[in-house]
Amino acid sequence: MEWLRLFFLHPVSFYQGAAFPFAFLFNYLCIMDSFSTRARYLFLLAGGGALAVAAMGPYAVLVFTPAVCAVALLCSLDPQQVHRWTFCFQMSWQTLCHLGLHYTEYYLHEPPSVRFCITLSSLMLLTQRVTSLSLDICEGKVEAASGGIRSRSSLSEHVCKALPYFSYLLFFPALLGGSLCSFQQFQACVQGSSALYPRYSFWALSWRGLQILGLECINVAVSRMVDAGAGLTDCQQFECIYVVWTTAGLFKLTYYSHWILDDSLLHAAGFGSELGQSPGEEGYVPDADIWTLERTHRISVFARKWNQSTARWLRRLVFQHSRAWPLLQTFAFSAWWHGLHPGQVFGFLCWAVMVEADYVIHSFANEFIRSWPMRLFYRTLTWAHTQLIIAYIMLAVEIRSLSSLWLLCNSYNSVFPVVYCILLLLLVKRKHKCK
């Protein structure tokens, strides 16, 4: 059972797996109606605190501090100002923590602490929830805590009003991973009656378990292929294309497994797609849509479906509020949110250009390719090209050293994004001439 040993040796997988009994316990107590709403909030918050201390150790304070400050801002500021201030504070705090990682990796040349890396990952997810909640308050979707800190209520009343916020920001099923759910969905799930909704499905969880089993078996096989072959430093010409493609496949398999595990934990705690969806509101979206990701021939579709809840969050937070170059601003912010490592800056900016090229190229092709044999050939060719470009971008984003990034850029793999760049320039020029 090598796949099982490797999977649970990953620190985040281990702690996520350890949280399942508490998720089932929370679900059971809710089904038995043994919990008041306040007790449910407290259980989720206490579980989040315990999981943070267990997984992060002393670094947990780097997550608790911005959570407390965010709640203070949410409860004290006017709804029109709350998003601006919470966004600035949260991203500033997260950036300082990422700079600490940069200092360790690039100046001290030391491997960062595993607990510190888990903390940074959790902090990024916290930023998603904080900004999502502040946007909801700013847009009037969520009513701000009445009176806030400035009112004359007692301290206990303030804490009771802020308890749903604290619980949402630190609830244990989503602390270390999982799709972003809105505050309204979170509240509906916590307050929902088990008589109205089934809180989890045994068969749905079993199916997710089988998916993880299959992905990890494939992961072990691909890992052996990668280990047996040449690396990026010693590959030759066209061999480098195979090396990048298989290595990126290994990254994708790892992401898929962890996303399904995170989704399973949320589902086990009762935060599945069945609860908390209001009419006209987008429901809970799992991050891993493997079928679409592996068969699409469009880079733009891959960008929307890869880590779906994060893609929706970026669209709402940046894209919809950008007046100029919204696509470039969205991917640039994504690089900032991920930590601004050199490979991430290069990879996300390259991804932005590839998405723009994808729109132009496929728009042109849809106008001129009519026969189904040509469409089939075109779709097959663009599928292969899309997979190779995505592999190139993924490896660039995951690379931490400048020397490895330089090797990637000098390999034959750079031909694929360059082809899209040339086509983009030619088609844009042709479009301007036609006008």
Q: At a CB cut-off of 8 Å and minimum separation 6, what does 340 contact?
A: 95, 98, 102
Residues 148 and 81: their CA atoms lie apart, in Å, by: 14
The verdict on 148 and 186 lying in the same domain is yes
Residues in the chain, total:
435
Whether 123 is covered by a domain: the verdict is yes
Are residues 62 and 35 in contact, defined by beta-carbon separation less than 8 angstroms? no
Structural domain span for residue 359:
202-433
CB atoms within 10 A of CB 34: 10
Give whole-number Cα distances, 422 to 238, 291, 365, 408, 425, in Å: 21, 30, 15, 19, 5
Q: Looking at residue 58, what DSSP letter applies?
A: G
The verdict on 363 and 295 lying in the same domain is yes
Are residues 125 and 177 in contact, defined by beta-carbon separation less than 8 angstroms? yes
Share of the chain above pLDDT 90, in %: 60
The verdict on 190 and 206 lying in the same domain is no
The verdict on 83 and 217 lying in the same domain is no
Whether 301 is covered by a domain: the verdict is yes
Q: Is 356 exposed, middle or buried (0-12, 13-18, 19+ CB in 10 A)?
A: buried
Last residue of a domain, one of 164, 194, 224: 194
pLDDT tens, residue by residue, 84-133: 999 999 999 999 999 999 999 888 888 889 999 999 999 999 999 999 99
What's the Rg (C-alpha) of the chain? 23
Dihedral through CA 148, CA 94, CA 355, CA 417, nearest 10?
Answer: 180
Which spans in 269-298 are helix H?
290-295
CB atoms within 10 A of CB 107: 8
- Segment 292-298 shows an average pLDDT of 94
Of 291, 306, 311, the residue nearest 393 (C-alpha):
306
The verdict on 247 and 296 lying in the same domain is yes
Of 336, 291, 287, the residue nearest 311 (C-alpha):
287
What is the structure's pLDDT at 254?
Answer: 92
pLDDT tens, residue by residue, 173-210: 999 998 999 999 999 888 876 544 455 677 888 888 89
The verdict on 132 and 269 lying in the same domain is no
Last residue of a domain, one of 144, 171, 194: 194
Kindly tell me if the per-residue pLDDT of 279 is higher than 60: no
Kindly tell me if the per-residue pLDDT of 435 is higher than 50: yes
What is the structure's pLDDT at 9?
Answer: 45
Whether 254 is covered by a domain: the verdict is yes
CB atoms within 10 A of CB 282: 11
The verdict on 188 and 223 lying in the same domain is no
Are residues 344 and 335 in contact, defined by beta-carbon separation less than 8 angstroms? yes
Whether 179 is covered by a domain: the verdict is yes
Whether 3 is covered by a domain: the verdict is no
Give whole-number Cα distances, 365 to 116, 300, 424, in Å: 47, 15, 12
The verdict on 149 and 254 lying in the same domain is no
Q: What is the SS3 assignment for 64?
A: helix
The verdict on 107 and 221 lying in the same domain is no
Are residues 250 and 284 in contact, defined by beta-carbon separation less than 8 angstroms? no
Backbone angles phi, psi at 296, to 5 degrees: -75, 145
CB atoms within 10 A of CB 152: 6
Kindly tell me if the per-residue pLDDT of 6 is higher than 60: no
Of 122, 100, 118, the residue nearest 110 (C-alpha):
100
Give whole-number Cα distances, 166 to 74, 272, 313, 374, in Å: 11, 20, 20, 56
pLDDT tens, residue by residue, 210-237: 999 999 899 888 888 888 777 788 888 8
Whether 2 is covered by a domain: the verdict is no
Whether 1 is covered by a domain: the verdict is no
The number of folded domains in the chain is 2
List the Cα angle 397/403/406 in 5-degree steps: 70
Share of the chain above pLDDT 70, in %: 91
Of 136 and 8, the structure prediction assigns the larger pLDDT to 136
In what helix (H) or strand (E) does residue 17 lie, and over which residues does it extend?
Answer: helix 11-18
Q: Which pLDDT band holds residue 4 (cuts at 50, 70, 90)?
A: very low
Residues 233 and 403: their CA atoms lie apart, in Å, by: 9
Roughly what angle, to the nearest 10 degrees, separates helices 202-228 and 239-268?
Answer: 160
Kindly tell me if the per-residue pLDDT of 15 is higher than 70: yes
Structure tokens at 396: 């660039």
What is the structure's pLDDT at 194?
Answer: 55
The verdict on 216 and 161 lying in the same domain is no
The verdict on 377 and 232 lying in the same domain is yes
Of 70 and 6, the structure prediction assigns the larger pLDDT to 70
List the Cα angle 106/108/110 in 5-degree steps: 90
The verdict on 223 and 186 lying in the same domain is no
Whether 407 is covered by a domain: the verdict is yes
The amino acid sitting at 23 is A
Catalytic residues: 307, 338
